[in-house]
Each structure stands twice: as C-alpha cells, then as structure tokens.
Structure 1
Amino acid sequence: MTPDFEARPPGGRPHPRYLLKTAYAEAVLAAGGLPWILAYGDEAVVGAYLERIDALVVTGGAFDVPPELYGETPRPGLGPQKVQRTAFERALLEGALDRGLPVLGVCGGMQLLNVVRGGTLVQDLPREWEGALAHEQDTDPRRPCHEVHVDPRSRLAEMTGATSLEVNSTHHQAVARPGEGLLVSARAPDGVVEAIEDPARPFVLGVQWHPELLDDGRQQRIYQRLVAAAEARRQAHAS
C-alpha cells in the first residue's frame, strides 16, 4: 500500500516523513493479509515491488491529481498536488494492471485509478457539480454522513451483499468520465460517482469513501475480497 509524504512536516525537526493512517494496515491485517508500505522509488524500485506484492492498495490523501494527466488545465478550486507521489503511484498502478494484480483504490486512489485508465475528474465538486452534497464532512469520518446507491449488478453489490451503504466522505473531487473498461458501481444521491470497477478483472475496484474507517462488516468484505483475490493469484502463480 502507498503512503503519503511530507517534505517538511509542521513543527519539530524538518525531516521528510512517510504517513499512513493505521486503519488501512489494520483492515488488511484483519482480512488475513500482510500489509507492505511502499517507499517511493524509481522505475527499478517499482518493478521490484511489483515482482513481490500480491495486490496493490492506493490510498488517499489531502492533494489532487494534476489535471494535465487527464488532458485538462487547472480550474478554480483545484487543490495542491504531490507530483512525486502521483508519479510513483501512477507507475505502480500501470504495472499492477499490466500484471493482473488485484487493485483497490481508496478516495484519491480511486481517482488516480480512473485517470490511469484514461478517465477524467471533476476538479472541484462545490463549484462544478450542481446540487452537490457536502462531500467533505466536518464530522468524525469513522461515522457515515451519506448514503450511496450500489448497482445491484455490480461486483461491489455481490461482495458487500448490499445495494445501499452508509459511507463517510472526505473528498472535493470525483470521477467525471470513467476510464476505459471501468463501470460505475455506486453513486451518491446527488449523482456523484462513489465507486468504479473493472468487471473483466478478478479485483479492480475504486471506492471514493474510506471503508476501513467504518464499523460495518459489509464494507470490511471489500478488504476481505481483496486479500482473497491476492491469495488466489499467488497460488495460481505458484502452481
């Protein structure tokens, strides 16, 4: 799984550091997986990771995907970008998809997954999406703040056993045009895309919310299915 990065952390000594919310790792551990935190590196490092990992989780963070990556120019409301992190995660995603690895994109990770597949993003929901809900909740993200409607034909519905889920929301961007081979599997009541998936792959899923923070067994099945897909791929390649 990919961590965030701060070049100059606020306060204390000015040493760069990697950051990762513990809930990501705990969700993978609870599902029976072994989380690896992937330090940023060049093409050779990315290749070495891809030879060793059985699945990829691309996490979220308080930054935006550069709009140049999806053929647009910056518009009002665009947030800060992290060029080094995005380049690293983009290379990992491209390699993981090429190799058929199970992939889970969470929040910003879902948005980058969509861009890597050739999709586009809404740069700022409050400015660009008429009637948008408050997608940046000001309450504890361990508590849900709105509902999402899950397509009953989707993999997401099959794995969670639900066509409606209560989710948290900590984003101001969203998928605009889904990328190649990706289907929308959930939307918020205002129509904003909340999940995407590739039905042609065993496990390629993006969710706009943070299921790892919610006390909802149906949503923990997302991580359980990810780990199961990773184990199935590992066994297939070992035989």
Structure 2
Amino acid sequence: MGDETHDRPLVGVVCDRFFAGEHDLHSAKHSYVRALMSGANVSPVLIPATRDVDAFDAYLDAVSGLLFPGGASNVEAHRYRGQASADMLVDPDRDHTALALMQAAASRGMPVLAICRGFQEMNVAFGGTLHTDIHACGHSEDHLEDPSEDLHTRYRYRHDVELAPTGMLATLAHAQRVRVNSLHRQGVAKLAPRLVVEARASDGLIEAYRLDGHPFALGVQWHPEVMLEDDALSRAMFAAFGSHCRRHRRANTTRDTTRSRTSKGVEPCQQTAST
C-alpha cells in the first residue's frame, strides 16, 4: 500500500439500536470493522442510531466516508409508502440516522458504501421504494437467509449476478458475471431516480447500484465484508472505497487550509513563471 499504510482516514459506521435483555445497545458487527481496517485501510468509528439531528453535521465533519452496514432489522414500511408486516423487525432510530446521513453525505460528495440493509436505505433515501417481502413477490429463495444454518454456511455464495457492462463493479471485477452471497427479505421495487443499476440477479432483482454523478456512492445487496479474504471483487470494492475516502480527506484538508489562509488575509500560494 506504500504511503497509504500511514494514511488512515476516519470512516463512520452507522450502528443498529436494539435491546439485549434490559440493555439498550448501539452496535455494528465486527466483520464490517475488520473489512474496513484490512480491506479499505481506514479507521472505523461507530455512529450511534439517534434522532439528534444536531449531531449529524459534527459526524460528517469528522469522517471522510460512511459505511451503512447490514442488520437484522428492516427499513420501516412507512418510509417508502409500503405495507407494514407485523412480523418484521424494525429499527426506527437507525432509519432516521441512516437516511439523513445518506442524503447529507451525497450533498458533500463524501464516499459511501452501503451493504444489505444499507443498500435498501440508499434506495429509500433518494426516493425509491421497496418490496416488503421479495419472496412473496415471486423472487427466488436464493436470496433467503436460513437462521438454522451455521454462519459459514449461511454466508456462502448463493447465486450469480450480471454486472452492467460499463459499470463500476464490472471495472473492479474485470468480469461481467460474479457469484454473490445475498441474504435479504426486502428488495428494490421502484429504483430511485438518481441511482444507476450496477448488477441484477437472474430473477431480475436489482442487486447493486451507484449514485449517478457521485465520485463513489455504491450500494450492494450482498455481503462483501464476509468474503474479503476469498473474493477478488470484495477486496477491490473495499480498496476502492478506502482510496476515495483518502482522496476526500485530502481535498477537504486542502480546502480548509486555503480557507484558513484567506481568512487571515494571506493569499494562497501561486506559481510564478520563471524568467
């Protein structure tokens, strides 16, 4: 990695909020933290799921990228004008935090990587809708998680996706088709206008997209954080995310330095032609 070994920007990881017994917790799985550290070469910091909107700008000022990870809960149906399901686990505080941060990060050009639940949040944040239950809509059971399986078996490669020929993922993968490990109940119904499809499953379900016109805002339905050691695309995805986070931090540092010098009455340095 060269100089990047010592260049580790802070990247925010949006937490889930849930109860363990009587304890009210904010947490993120270690698999995401590990993938950010080893695959993206960044320093992850956890962002609690909160309704304190005054804190959001402070978070965004402190980090150089955001990861929206998977989680056990689903986006609340009213967020995308869908039909609620009584047996669906929800996390209203995460919805509130994630959707606001997703939109704010996009406005700043901040790098975003959204995985599984984060992928669904990304579509909702920009005006798309979701199927509450993709399997009830006729999509393949290849997307379905079986909680009775051990974790290693559960996160195996389950089906192929076709990559958009000129897309970001096809460029990273050097391929048009890859095998993925999707595990989800919700899925894209109507794609948000600003999102561009990066991958589809054979049953037609959208499995990845990017935010049009943004340097790096990528959402994937599958779990690259689990396959980092064994899968070239997963490694390339996290490496690209880390690279864009470093680029974003450098650009902001340069901008802040210029602003500081100007505010003190010192003009930015200019090159003069030699005589």
User: TM-score, normalised on structure 1?
Assistant: 0.91
| Structure 1 stretch displaced more, 137-146 or 196-205 | 137-146
Is the partner of 1:185 in helix, strand or coil?
Answer: strand
Q: Greater shift after overlay, 94-103 or 139-148?
A: 139-148
Counterpart of 1:66 in structure 2 is: 76
Counterpart-to-counterpart distance in 2, 1:131 and 1:62: 20
Moved more, 100-109 or 77-86: 77-86
**Residue 173 of structure 1: aligned partner:** 186
Q: In terms of mean alpha carbon deviation, does 64-73 or 114-123 score higher? A: 64-73
Decide whether the 8 Å contact of 1:141 with 1:169 is kept in 2.
Answer: no
Q: C-alpha deviations, 1:35-81, integer Å up to 9, x for none? A: 1111233112111101111001111111111121122332x586121
For 2:195 and 2:87, the matched residues in 1 are separated by 24
Matched with 2:164 is: 151
Q: Give the counterpart letter for 2:119 in structure 1.
A: M
Q: Distance in 1 between the 2:193 and 2:36 partners? A: 28
What amino acid sits opposite 1:135 in the alignment?
Answer: H
- 1:44-55 correspondence runs (5 A): 44-55=54-65
Q: CA deviation at 1:131?
A: 4.6
- Total equivalences in the alignment: 233
Conservation of the 8 A alpha-carbon contact between 2:18 and 2:91: no
> Structure 1 residue runs of 4+, over 4 Å off?
none
Instruction: Check conservation: 1:107, 1:208, Cα contact below 8 A.
Output: yes
Deviation at 1:144, TM superposition (A): 0.9
Shift of 1:137: 3.5
Q: 1:33 maps to which residue?
A: 42
Identity %: 32
CA contact (8 A) 2:69 2:118 kept: yes
Aligned pair partner of 2:203 in 153, 177, 190: 190
Q: Counterpart of 2:145? A: 137
Between the aligned partners of 1:125 and 1:85, the Cα distance in structure 2 is 22
For residues 180 and 60 of structure 1, do their structure 2 counterparts lie closer, same or farther at Cα, with a shift above 3 Å needed?
same
Rounded to whole Å, the distance in 1 between the matches of 2:106 and 2:154 is 30
Measure how far apart 1:173 and its partner are: 1.1
> 1:112 matched to which residue of 2?
121
Asked whether the equivalents of residues 82 and 131 of structure 2 are also in contact (C-alpha less than 8 Å), the reply is no
Q: Do the aligned partners of 1:114 and 1:120 also contact (CA within 8 Å) in 2?
A: yes
Partners of 2:49 and 2:76 lie apart in 1 by 18
CA distance in 2, matches of 1:121, 1:131: 13
CA distance in 1 between partners of 2:252 and 2:88 (Å): 41
C-alpha contact 1:137 1:168 (8 A) present in aligned 2: no
Q: Is the 8 A contact 1:122 1:174 kept in 2?
A: yes
Residue 6 (structure 1) aligned with residue 18 (structure 2): yes
1:122 aligns with 2:137: no
Measure the CA separation in 2 of the matches of 1:199 and 1:115: 15
Once superposed, what is the RMSD of the aligned Cα atoms?
1.6
SS of 2:46's partner is: coil
Specify which structure has the higher proportion of strand: 2
1:43 aligns with 2:53: yes
